[in-house]
């Protein structure tokens, strides 16, 4: 049985704490303790789970002091964001807002992190809709994981035991407009339903690119392919958006249900929030 303090706070089980001196040092520690070690960055997701005994790592590897993983860089082809860049910096950086506005909006309303892979976190739909790559490094070297392969289930990713997320790379899509909309859970701030929309129109107002992804509705962040297909090639209008977003839940056969929202309510919210995101992506 989990023990508790006098104030009722659940106390995590004992663990060893290691402060990594470099990325290689962190990877070495993770490789030395496969399946037993967890990376600690901000800790806003991991520590509450440890207190509830939902996560019981024997080793914590703190990478919070690795300042070389905090940056925003942009060139003609892509935006690169270091894994330890604060949400406030991502939300406020002009290099982010000018080409990836929805990412800045997700950072401004953030709950959760990519590596933690909470099914209701905000960054997941943004990296999916922008077709990002998640760069990771482990004891055997670095690799880039496409966002659509990164999330494998609830609180589960394609990361190996010794790998650490180091950077997010988001291609620049010329002419794209984007928006992130969500209904937050009042207590936690996580998304009951959240949708990221990335849209490109040609000079005649025809949709040539439509990318939508959602959080809070399935066991992981998901692309909304049926909605994308319905909008691509359509003349951009309120009617076309409404008709397409009426199919927003078509790619989510098993919608989450909990004490806050039933399946039917979440399906309704998904359609409504997808429409709001689409309308704001291209005003």
Query: How much is the average pLDDT of 237-241?
Result: 97
Calculate what percentage of the chain has a pLDDT beyond 70. 96
Q: How far apart are CA 100 and CA 130, in angstroms?
A: 8
Asked if the model's pLDDT at residue 16 lies above 70, the reply is: yes
The residue among 222, 115, 101, 94 whose CA lies nearest residue 168 is 115
CB-facing half-sphere around the CA of 170: CA atoms within 13 A? 33
Lowest mean pLDDT among 87-96, 113-122, 189-198: 113-122
Per residue in 147-186, pLDDT (tens digit) is: 999 999 999 999 999 999 999 999 999 999 999 999 999 9
The pLDDT value given to residue 9:
57
The residue among 66, 104, 97 whose CA lies nearest residue 83 is 66
Q: How far apart are CA 95 and CA 145, in angstroms?
A: 23
How high is the mean pLDDT of the chain?
93
Asked if the model's pLDDT at residue 7 lies above 60, the reply is: no
- CB atoms closer than 10 angstroms to residue 92: 14
The pLDDT value given to residue 225:
98
The pLDDT value given to residue 6:
38
- Tokens 């991502």 belong to 90
The residue among 188, 281, 265, 180 whose CA lies nearest residue 221 is 180
**Banded model confidence at residue 84, pLDDT cuts 50, 70, 90:** very high
DSSP string, 232-253: TTSBP-HHHHHHHHTTTTTT-S
Q: How far apart are CA 54 and CA 231, in angstroms?
A: 41
The pLDDT value given to residue 170:
98
The pLDDT value given to residue 3:
40
The residue among 216, 73, 194, 69 whose CA lies nearest residue 136 is 69
In DSSP terms, 210 is beta-bridged to 199
Calculate what percentage of the chain has a pLDDT beyond 90. 83
The pLDDT value given to residue 12:
86
Query: How much is the average pLDDT of 13-35?
Result: 92
The pLDDT value given to residue 52:
85
The pLDDT value given to residue 44:
78
3-state secondary structure (DSSP) of residue 218: coil
Asked if the model's pLDDT at residue 2 lies above 70, the reply is: no
Higher pLDDT, 192 or 113: 192
Per residue in 95-140, pLDDT (tens digit) is: 999 999 999 999 998 867 899 899 999 999 999 999 999 999 998 8
Q: How far apart are CA 271 and CA 215, in angstroms?
A: 13
**Banded model confidence at residue 221, pLDDT cuts 50, 70, 90:** very high
The pLDDT value given to residue 113:
85
Q: Which residues, 6+ apart, have CB-to-CB distance to 262 below 8 Å?
A: none
Higher pLDDT, 4 or 161: 161
């Amino acid at each position: 049985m989990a023990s508790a303090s006098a104030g009722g706070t659940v106390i995590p089980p004992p663990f060893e704490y290691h402060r990594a001196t470099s990325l290689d040092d962190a990877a070495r520690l993770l490789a030395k303790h496969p399946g037993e070690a967890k990376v600690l960055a901000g800790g806003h997701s991991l520590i509450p789970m440890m207190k509830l005994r939902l996560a019981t790592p024997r080793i914590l590897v703190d990478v919070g002091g690795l300042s070389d993983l905090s940056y925003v860089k942009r060139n003609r082809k892509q935006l690169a964001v270091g894994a330890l860049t604060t949400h406030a910096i991502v939300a406020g950086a002009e290099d982010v807002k000018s080409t990836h506005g929805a990412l800045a909006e997700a950072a401004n309303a953030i709950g959760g992190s990519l590596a933690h892979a909470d099914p209701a976190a905000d960054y997941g739909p943004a990296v999916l809709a922008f077709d990002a790559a998640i760069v990771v490094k482990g004891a055997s070297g670095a690799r880039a994981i496409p966002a659509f392969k990164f999330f494998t289930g609830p609180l589960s990713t394609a990361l190996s035991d010794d790998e650490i997320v180091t950077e997010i790379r988001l291609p620049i899509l010329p002419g794209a407009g984007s928006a992130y909309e969500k209904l937050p859970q009042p207590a936690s701030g996580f998304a009951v339903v959240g949708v990221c929309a990335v849209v490109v129109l040609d000079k005649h107002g025809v949709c040539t690119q439509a990318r939508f992804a959602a959080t809070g509705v399935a066991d992981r962040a998901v692309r909304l392919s049926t909605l994308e297909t319905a909008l691509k090639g359509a003349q951009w209008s309120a009617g076309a958006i409404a008709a397409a977003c009426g199919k927003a839940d078509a790619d989510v056969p098993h919608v989450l249900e909990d004490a806050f929202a039933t399946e039917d309510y979440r399906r309704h919210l998904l359609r409504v929030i997808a429409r709001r995101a689409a309308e704001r992506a291209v005003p």
